[in-house]
Structure 1
Amino acid sequence: MTRVGDVFLAFALFILYNELGTLNFREMVELAPSALC
């Protein structure tokens, strides 16, 4: 079960990186409202 969770976590991080261009959480919090609307 944890391997499935790891795969989905990696997939989610890949999507976030493609949408926001960073994996820095502080930058994501600042960029998310404008980038994901």
Structure 2
Amino acid sequence: MTDVFLGDLPLWSDIDARALLEELCAKHCVPFDVLEP
């Protein structure tokens, strides 16, 4: 079994998805680095 890390998920390489996550974090007062791999 290979290890899978959050940074390997396609979500992190998608610029639009990342921007949306940053927006959601700001809206809900959650630091973005909590989600960052």
Q: TM-score range by the shorter chain?
A: 0.3 to 0.5
Structure 1 or 2: larger helix share?
A: 1
TM-score by length of 2: 0.43
TM-score by length of 1: 0.43
